[in-house]
Each structure stands twice: as structure tokens, then as C-alpha cells.
Structure 1
């Protein structure tokens, strides 16, 4: 395993920060590595704590009387300067349970009410989003949504269109649109599984 020789915080921002890591792997190769993180300080990094705690949630919500539609958002993202289809998502507040965060975030982004399922915790453990560049960890929360779509609870910084997609629209999106990887994998199963949540064994 590599040895970290120094760790320096380069920015002090609200939502994401950049850290410089200097280290050496077991082959003797020296690296200057840059890590983006949701952490506010280097004391909070997983490098320092060794703990994997959910920074945020990704919300896989089925919708409709027959639970045959999925809630997506089409959101503008600066890093790619265009729109991408994603699951609704957001950051957990300090000390907030991730399922509570999912209920809050779905309502804020879509106006919909979220009813989370409680599967085996294995399915909701925080997973890393893009570990080559960040220690960000996200819990996937599964459940059902109902209510009416509204954008009045979205933040001014957000440019989000709520999409309630049936299987035909999901197929089109996967063929023609930019899709976040986490959503894309689940949507592939949504296309082909009669009950998209059957794997949860609830």
C-alpha cells in the first residue's frame, strides 16, 4: 500500500475543495495527486479518518399507479457545459440520516413526496462516485414517489427539469442523451426487469 508523505488543502469552498497529496507507492513511484472532496478540511478527508461516510444520496424513485415510471432530472452541469440525465440527488446535512436526506432532496428538486424502502443495508452502503479524482461517497436510496411536480423549491443555482420516464422514454434517453453512469446502470435494469426493485428482496 502507498505511503502518504504530505497533505495540503488548496481551497476553502462551501461544496467542494481541492487537496494536494504527495506520496509513494510500494513500487517506489512518487506521485503528486490532486483530490477533490466534499470535506471542509483535511481532518475530514477519508485519507485522514479512514471512514466512509455518505456525503450525499442518489434517489432511485419509481412513480405512477403501476410503479412503471422512474423519476429523473435533466440538469445543466458546468463541467460538461450541457445537460445530463441523472437521478435526483443531493448532499446530506451534518448528522442527517441518508434516508431523511433523500426525502428532503427529492422534494426540493422535484416537489414530489418520497417513500423510501428499507432493504438490506448492503444495497444502500455509501459507494464512491469517481475514486480516481475524489473521495466523494454516495448512498443509493430506493423507493416510491407520488405527488405533483414543482420547481418552486429548487435553489437559484440549480437548472433542473423533472422527467417522469416510462420504458420507451428511458430507452430513448439511453440511446440519445448524456446520462450519469450511476443512473445509466440502473436504467438498463429498469428497461428489462418487470419489477425493477426485485433484486432488493423486500
Structure 2
């Protein structure tokens, strides 16, 4: 993709139905017995939602990849144009699981597609909700090591992203001056000890 080829927002309009996301209304009783409802968006079908709510079953939709160098001094981030925000946002590489994949296979494939680099998974955290007030999407964070140099050669036409390998100083500048997603911000703050409150500096 050349520098001139950019994603362009054409319009914004409300819609009553979606092609890729399903909407659900959950009816429930409050603690005092008052009827109420909750609206939810999901990639999954009704059976999945019922299994989650009624039977406590756990699912995962994909992987978020925390890739570092051998010395654990640098981490790979993506600067990606996000249509939902209308701007470039920094985040960790991530992607949805394909049918039949393990979560580690998803992490390796998505990391290659988004960054052009190889990824060696070492530790996989359990699946966790990403924004439980709005969606029931769950992801696993997969930790490991990267190899190679960043490349845009494997991006699809729908992706406008550039991978960066950042150290502590670069991470601090991004957190101070750029749009960084909440989950990514927390993880790199913890990794580089950049949160003054949590690290005892405030």
C-alpha cells in the first residue's frame, strides 16, 4: 500500500440491522424485582449468549498479542486507522480467531498479517471480556517474542496499519501525546512502569 492510499470515511448513518454484528435485548429483574432490559451487541449467535448467561460457558473471539524482544525492553505496537474513531489509534496487534485455530495459531497468523513479523507464543492468559457493558466479545492476551522487521506487505485492503517497535521512552511519548486504546495503555504502562500511581511515584 502506498502512502497515498488511505482509508476515507464517506458518511455516517443510523441503521436498524447490522450485517456482521447481532443485537440482543436481555430482559431481567432488578434486585427489587423491577423488570428491566439491557441491550447488547455480539458477533455470536443466540445459543452462544444463552450458554454464557445461563450456563457460565467461556468463549474467545480472538487474540491480543503482546510481543517483546529477547531482552524485554521493547514491545510491538500498531498505529492503525480505525473507522469507528475516524483516526489513527495505537494498540497492540490483535485479530479474530478463524474456525479450527487454536488461540496461539491465531496470534501467530494475525501478528504476521498485521506487522509482517514472526511471533513465538510463550504464555496465554485466559479469555477476558473487552467491553462488557456493550459487547460480549472476549479475547486472550498471548505473550511472547517477535522476530524480524516490521512490514506492511501482508495487510489487506481494509487495513491501514504500521507496526512500531517501541522502547520505554517512545511508549511514554505515545501515552502522553497520541491516541492509545485503554487496554493497550494499561499493559504498556505496567510493562514499562509508567503509571506513577501504581508504581509508587504519586
Q: TM-score range by the shorter chain?
A: 0.7 to 0.9
Greater alpha carbon shift after TM alignment, 106-115 vs 65-74:
65-74
- Check if 1:53 corresponds to 2:54: no
**Aligned mates of 2:137, 2:17 — CA distance in 1:** 16
Q: Which runs of 4+ in 1 moved over 6 A?
A: none
Of the three residues 6, 19, 29, the one matched with 1:13 is 19
**CA distances 1:60-114 after superposition (whole Å, capped 9, x unpaired):** 0003x63321100011222222121110000111232111110010001011000
Alignment correspondent of 1:159: 160
Of the three residues 112, 121, 124, the one matched with 1:116 is 121
Greater alpha carbon shift after TM alignment, 96-105 vs 47-56:
47-56
Greater alpha carbon shift after TM alignment, 21-30 vs 104-113:
21-30
TM-score computed with the length of structure 1 as normaliser? 0.80
> Residue 106 of structure 1: SS of its match in structure 2?
helix
> Residue 72 of structure 1: SS of its match in structure 2?
strand
Within-5 A mapping of 1:1-202:
11=17, 13-14=19-20, 16-39=21-44, 41-45=45-49, 46-47=52-53, 50-63=56-69, 66-118=71-123, 124-192=125-193
**Aligned mates of 2:38, 2:174 — CA distance in 1:** 35
Deviation at 1:48, TM superposition (A): 5.7
Q: Number of residues paired by the alignment?
A: 177
Greater alpha carbon shift after TM alignment, 86-95 vs 74-83:
74-83
> Residue 135 of structure 1: SS of its match in structure 2?
coil
**Aligned mates of 1:161, 1:42 — CA distance in 2:** 36
Contact 1:106–1:114 (CA under 8 A) maintained in structure 2: yes
Unaligned runs of 5+ in 2: 1-15, 195-202
**Aligned mates of 2:162, 2:36 — CA distance in 1:** 41
Q: RMSD of aligned C-alpha atoms?
A: 1.9
Decide whether aligned partners of structure 1 residues 155 and 31 sit closer, same or farther in structure 2, where only a CA change above 3 A counts. farther
